[in-house]
Amino acid sequence: MSAVRAAADGDAVLGLTPRVALEPGSLDEAADAMRALARDRAAVTFIGGGTDLELGAPPARLDAVLHTRRLDRVKEHAPADQIVAVEAGLTIAALQRHLAPHGQRLALDPPHPERATVGGVVAANAFGPRRTRFGTVRDLVVGVTLVRADGVVARGGGKVVKNVAGFDLPRLLCGSLGSLALVAEVVFRLHPLPEASATVAVPGLTPAEVRALARAALDARLDPVAMAALQEGDRFRLAIRFEGFGPGVREQAERLLALDPRCEALAGADEAALWARHDALRLAGDVRAKAAFPPASLEGAVRALEPLAATLAAGALVLHPALGIAFVAGALSRAEATGSAVAAARVALRPGNGSLVLAAAPAALRAVADPWGDPPPAVEVMRRLKRELDPDGRLAPGRLAGGI
């Protein structure tokens, strides 16, 4: 039976505390819990590890939270088919530990893997630097099992038992923040564990040099798994990582070293320290923003984002030049100034169809800056999907852009 208790402060979502908290321990219990919430017409938000709980707006109303932490089993693993089916509350780190003895991994590296859950990563469309090579969670999800707002269990994609006609459920649920259904189980495509890893780093680069060297590496038909530029003062340190079989990794690193005399090869502890610094910079402080833009517009994006970073204590940028993504992180000191800088950055990014989302922000900043900005062009399609899958508007209401 699903555990039900009175909610506590630890169950709050962006300042709202629900009446009750539920913790189902199986798919059947999750379905029962959702049916009970539907009978009470209760508004519910789902919580996994809580690593991306600050993404999006506060719920418009909140009667209950449903925790997925007891849904933490590996349901099926077929190493020969490179497929694994897991429950939503399993953490990324626990999944990787299960896969490693089989020489496999899930090629996702979101922040806080010891806390981030499979369902939360799907719901938040979370990712790390290996997105450069392996894509987003959408590219790795084969199938999903979900529980609808009315408690009906449905499946989509691989290993299908019952589909919801007309919808590509795995893709729809990625980034939905629990607004369409409870993600209960996920089937992932796997990749082999690499035999070797090496990173080539180039310090002291301007944004233009970051873009040029990143482009040169791709034009040379190199195949990095990750590419990121970390801000160091008024310059950037570009890190390009290769993984795979030992000879291939060495050959690619040597070819990149030949492209620029400033390149330095890193391995072992030095390599691990550099990517740990990437994560620390991306997650620093209580304000975290993600900007998207065409990769060719990287210099303009940096000009748009530097004033925002300057309003934050210890504000810094992390660039993913091959993806056209940048992160700004730091501690809030002047909410009005940061809110104005957020608005200015959105205006500056708009000509290239760029965008800026606040992935985390204190209440003082949310009071002067919408976390999403202007609704996307597809907002009406999003509203129709919401009405179709959650007609009473009870699942994470108001969390998405446009108040969906």
d(CA 110, CA 191): 16
Decide if 381 is inside a domain. no
C-alpha distances (whole Å) from 176 to each of 244, 247, 365 are 33, 41, 23
Note whether 34 and 87 are same-domain residues.
no
Encoding tokens for residue 255?
């070819």
d(CA 199, CA 202): 10
At 230, which CATH number? 3.30.70.260
- Domain range for residue 141? 74-192
Encoding tokens for residue 1?
């039976």
Strands 20-23 and 64-67, how do they pair? parallel
pLDDT (0 to 100) of residue 163: 42
Decide if 375 is inside a domain. no
Note whether 242 and 152 are same-domain residues.
no
Note whether 90 and 170 are same-domain residues.
yes
Contacts of 188 (CB under 8 A, 6+ apart): 83, 84, 85, 86, 106, 118, 140, 141, 142
227 class by beta-carbon count within 10 Å (0-12 exposed, 13-18 middle, 19+ buried): buried
Note whether 288 and 361 are same-domain residues.
yes
Question: In total, how many domains does the chain have?
Answer: 4
Note whether 352 and 399 are same-domain residues.
no
Decide if 240 is inside a domain. yes
Token pair 């925790």 is found at 67
CB 336 within 8 A of CB 368: yes
Note whether 131 and 149 are same-domain residues.
yes
At 101, which CATH number? 3.30.465.10
Q: What does pLDDT average to in each consecutive run of 10 residues of the chain (404 residues)? A: 86 96 97 97 97 96 98 97 97 98 97 97 97 96 95 80 56 94 97 97 97 95 97 96 96 94 93 96 96 97 98 97 98 98 97 95 97 92 94 97 94
Helix locations, 50-106, DSSP H:
92-99
CB atoms closer than 10 angstroms to residue 27 = 18
Note whether 246 and 184 are same-domain residues.
no
pLDDT (0 to 100) of residue 164: 46
d(CA 188, CA 84): 5
d(CA 238, CA 290): 18
CB atoms closer than 10 angstroms to residue 193 = 15
Decide if 384 is inside a domain. no
pLDDT (0 to 100) of residue 159: 53
Decide if 95 is inside a domain. yes
Note whether 236 and 290 are same-domain residues.
no
Note whether 146 and 243 are same-domain residues.
no
Note whether 320 and 358 are same-domain residues.
yes
Note whether 302 and 347 are same-domain residues.
yes
**Strand ranges (E), 61-152:** 64-67, 74-78, 83-87, 104-105, 141-147
pLDDT (0 to 100) of residue 2: 73
Decide if 386 is inside a domain. no
Decide if 227 is inside a domain. yes
Contacts of 244 (CB under 8 A, 6+ apart): 194, 195, 196
Residues in the chain: 404
pLDDT (0 to 100) of residue 19: 97
Note whether 82 and 181 are same-domain residues.
yes
